[in-house]
Structure 1
Amino acid sequence: MREYLLTLFVSAAVTYLLTGAVRRFAIAAGAMPEIRARDVHKEPTPRLGGMAMFGGLCAGLLIARHLPGMEVVFTGSTDVQALLSGCALICLLGVVDDKWGVDAIIKLLGQALAAGVMVWQGIVILWLPIPGQGTVSLTPTQGAILTIAVVVITINAVNFVDGLDGLAAGMVCIAAVAFFAYAYRLWFGYGIEGAAAPTMFTALLIGICAGFLPHNLHPARIFMGDSGSMLIGLMLAAAAITLTGRLDPEVIAAQAGSETFATHKLVPVYIPLVLPFAVLIVPLIDLVMAVTRRGWAGRSPFAADKGHLHHRLLEIGHSHSRAVLIMYFWSGLIASFTVLISVRPDRRPIVYAGLGFIALGLLVLMLPWFRPRVPKTLHGVVPPRYRGRGRRRARDVADSAGSADGSVITAEDEHHRATAEHGQQPWRGSESGTQPGSAPVSGTRSRSQSPLL
């Protein structure tokens, strides 16, 4: 475990440090597209964050190459070379798209090319373990086509969900954590050597996502762009293929003791690619809904719009941060449930109880009007929208008491009183800049002017 943690921390640190330099380079290079109708940010933000993520990947691989516990990944197969080649191509395509823009069809062909390069170098689905049917071997052509399809679908699922600050990086990081836990259990729990590569790939993926997130959380200082979203999508697909598409169920059954035991304990291995699709179920649902919606309206499936799940969360009243947290919760809930299928039966009640509490918390989080009461001692570590409830309530009580004799406290009176307390002249230093003789300043903000809840 120490080797994987070291690899993770190195890739995270390098990604974090490179992101600042990449941001300055993106600004100088003009990689700051104008605000589009479907965007939710208010001012142009630099992209090209995928360049920093690719740098973190290379640094992590360089460190892992010299760690004794990971020698089997570099000497036993060509998976590392295949992953690095595919990531380099997809990142280059993304950089071109972030700077100049690329047609959707050309981008799709580029994604298929990157997947094809990985297939050519050895990352390919060899067989499908199907319950009740046994292991179904695939021909080279079938394996190549299925591998390319899985890679392209995963890349576009991650690309589609990259619509809010920190959303794609956080969701892929959650998926990678779940995937790492499962692959690590196969590798060290059952001694299955084929799980060594996906264990390392997911550790690297966690690192680059965690290193980029501090720069990408709302309000984001830089976007990962297509160079980043396609990169992490390809890495997740590569980990899925090397784990579920190349492991022989008979080996797992031999390690587990019996095929029945293996089927019960290791269900994700017996259902082709169920784990990566399960942990990415939210963006995949969004992808299917987007294609269906656009096709029903007679538009191209690649035509951008504001009908994604995160856009709908904003429309019903959630704030930017809360919409991201809701998507995080859904992804974490589904990923945890999928991975914990293989937990020992005597521990399942505890697992289900924990998942039930998470579901309850998610239900509360789904309420746009809900605002938790935060003690004053925690005001320094929570967003501003969660502060000041007590002060507002006290002001409302004071207003009610002040008007008990029938008088009315106007906004102008409130302003004069506030300025007098601070030793200022009336109408001087007002945030609104209102001058004497102009319309009085409203004491409240209208609903249409208020920020998203």
Structure 2
Amino acid sequence: MKQYVFTIIFTATVTFVLAWAVWRLALKYKLYPGIRERDVHKNPTPRLGGLAMYLGVLAMFAVSAQHPFFAIVWTNPQQIWAILGATTLIVLVGVADDLWDLDWMIKLGAQFLAAGVIAWFGELQIYSLPIGGLAVGSSWVSFTLTVFSIVVVMNAVNFIDGLDGLVAGVCLIANSVFFAYSYLLWRDQGASTYFNLASLIAAVLIGACIGFLPLNWSPAKLFMGDSGALMLGLLMACSAIAVTGNLNPAVVGDNDEFGRSQLLGAFIPILLPVVVVMLPLLDFGLAVVRRMSKGKSPFSPDRKHLHHRMLDMGHSDRDAVLIFYAWTAIVSLAFLLMYIGTTEEWPGDYLLGVAFGVVGAAACLVVTLTPSRVRTASPSAHSPRLEPAR
């Protein structure tokens, strides 16, 4: 565990220092776009924070290559190099978009290429689903399923990047829960070491988000841009696939107790990686349906994302961000408790009671924080907030 703590602290420190440097340099050389019609912020703000996060991630992987404790994840260096190569590609395209607003087809093509590099050259694919030993039918099905999964998660994370501190905080919470899950999963498998690629990626992302948040908290001095949001989505997808796509269904147990039944236990390894990004996925799905039903591109900007709806309900920017944090934390923790319950042989009634209690607390919290009526405003203050597309 000490090595994981070092990973988080090192990545956070490097990311924070580089983010501060990027912010200062961007202001000095005016490396930021002008205010666009769909932007929320009032003053020109650099959108190159993702570059600092990427360099922080890269620095930690460079350290891991030299440290004996991390040698286990470098036993298959091709996989690491494929992930880093794909990450580099997506960050470069993201930086170009943050500076010059690339066409969405170029960005989407780069996303599929990056996902293809991971699935093909890195051989990090969804080979099986932990439901009764269900295996993916063929190599092409596995490759296609993996590529589409990575692209969907990338865009889901990118789509919620509309408020100061939103993506960094949500991803910090999600990766913290997923880190705990992957760590416990390796423990329950009886592995000789709890160190694994999924946990390393999650720890690195936790550090990157911690290091970036001080400059991104409202009012933000620096945005992560597409380069940061797409990188977070890409690495989160890789972390989930490294666990779920190769999980042995025997891990979940096979006795007759409901808490350890195949029905419940087998689905948790699939559901938890999805749940930790549930809000981004929900927002992404609604946006695609909404835009395509109007004959528009699924990537055309609008102001109907979940965070925009919260602002319209009368929440301040910070209130909306904190509610997203609460939703992410409570729902993902509920599923983590369900996993812990299956491995600790909790009685079924007790397990469900805990899970529903946590979800109920989440509902009460959200209701408490929701304004009773929409805030009234003057016509000038009631102008629409459009997607910043950072």
Larger gyration radius, structure 1 or structure 2:
1
Question: What is the SS of the residue equivalent to 1:367?
Answer: coil
Name which structure has the greater RCO, CA cutoff 8 Å, separation 6+.
2
Q: Which residue of 2 aligns with 1:380?
A: none
Q: After superposition, what is the alpha-carbon deviation per residue over 1:92-147, rounded to whole angstroms, capped at 9, x for unaligned?
A: 11111111221101100001111111122324324232535x32234222111111
Tell me, yes or no, if structure 1 residue 294 matches structure 2 residue 294.
Answer: no
Asked whether the 8 Å contact 1:123–1:242 carries over to 2, the reply is no
Find the counterpart in structure 2 of residue 442 from structure 1.
Answer: none
Structure 1 residues 77 and 62 mapped into 2: Cα distance closer, same or farther (>3 Å)? closer
* 1:177 has 2:176 as partner: yes
- Whole-angstrom CA distance in 2 between matches of 1:22 and 1:360: 41
Structure 1 residues 270, 208: CA separation in 2 closer, same or farther (over 3 Å shift)? closer
CA deviation after TM superposition for structure 1 residue 58, in Å: 1.5
**CA positional deviation for 1:353:** 3.7
Please, which moves more after superposition, 151-160 or 190-199? Answer: 190-199
Q: CA deviation at 1:351?
A: 5.6
Distance 1:187 1:131, change over 3 A: closer
* Secondary structure of 2:134's aligned partner: strand
CA distance in 2, matches of 1:325, 1:270: 27
SS in 2 for 1:43: coil
SS at match of 2:39: coil
Runs of 4+ in 1 over 4 A off after TM superposition: 192-195, 256-260, 349-352, 446-452
Q: 1:448 to 1:90 in 2, by over 3 A?
A: same
Which consecutive residues of structure 2, in runs of 5 or more, have no partner in the other structure? 384-390
Q: Secondary structure at the match of 1:17?
A: helix
1:300 positional shift: 1.6
Is the Cα contact below 8 Å between 1:47 and 1:223 reproduced in 2? Answer: yes
Question: Which residue does 1:151 correspond to in 2?
Answer: 150
Does 1:317 find its partner at 2:314?
yes
Distance change >3 Å, CA 212–CA 123, structure 1 → 2:
farther
Shift of 1:83: 1.7
Shift of 1:76: 4.5
2:6 is matched by which residue type in structure 1?
A: L
Equivalent pair of 2:57/2:204 in contact (CA under 8 Å): yes
Of 295, 304, 308, 1:307 maps to: 304
Q: Which moved more, 1:67-76 or 1:92-101?
A: 67-76
In the alignment, what sits opposite 2:214? 214
Equivalence for 1:359:
363
Please give the TM-score of this superposition, normalised by the length of structure 1.
Answer: 0.76
Matched with 1:186 is 185
Change in CA separation of 1:258 and 1:226 when aligned onto 2, cut-off 3 Å: same
> How is 1:222-371 mapped onto 2 (pairs within 5 angstroms)?
222-250=222-250, 252=251, 256=253, 261=260, 263=262, 266-268=265-267, 271=270, 274-344=271-341, 345=346, 348=351, 349-350=353-354, 352-367=356-371
C-alpha contact (below 8 Å) 2:155/2:233 kept by paired residues: yes
Say what the alpha-carbon RMSD is for the aligned residues.
2.7
Gaps of 5+ in 1: 371-445
8 A Cα contact 2:131 2:249, kept in partner: no
Query: Is 1:137–2:107 an aligned residue pair?
Result: no
With 235-244 and 332-341 compared, the bigger mean Cα shift is at 332-341
Matches of 1:137 and 1:264, distance apart in 2:
19
Distance 1:57 1:4 in 2: 14
Q: Deviations over 1:277-319 (max 9, x none)?
A: 2111111111111111112222221111111111111111110
SS in 1 for 2:155: helix
How far off is 1:262 after superposition?
A: 6.6
Q: Report how many residues are paired.
A: 372
- Comparing 139-148 with 313-322, which one deviates more in the overlay? 139-148
What does residue range 387-402 of structure 1 map to in structure 2 within 5 Å? none
Change (3 A) 1:147 1:126: closer
What's the secondary structure of 1:40's corresponding residue? coil
Distance 1:334 1:43, change over 3 A: same
Cα 1:60–1:54, aligned 2, differ >3 Å: closer, same or farther? Answer: same
Mean Cα displacement is larger for which, 360-369 or 204-213? 360-369
Alignment identity in percent?
A: 39
Residue 49 (structure 1) aligns with: 49
* Residue 4 (structure 1) aligns with: 4
Q: Is the 8 A contact 1:267 1:341 kept in 2?
A: no
Shift of 1:265: 6.7
Partner of 1:85: 85
Partner of 1:410: none
Offset at 1:148? 0.9
Query: What is the distance in 1 between the residues matched to 2:214 and 2:269?
Result: 37
Query: Secondary structure at the residue paired with 1:78?
Result: helix
Secondary structure of the 2:196 match is helix
Q: Helix, strand or coil: the match of 1:32?
A: coil
Give per-residue Cα distances to partners, 1:338-361, cap 9 Å, x unaligned: 222112325634565454334322
> Is the 2:292–2:298 contact (alpha carbons within 8 Å) kept by the matching residues of 1?
yes
Q: 2:199 maps to which residue?
A: 199
Shift in alpha-carbon separation, 1:123–1:359, aligned structure 2, 3 A: farther
Query: 303-312 vs 61-70, which deviates more?
Result: 61-70
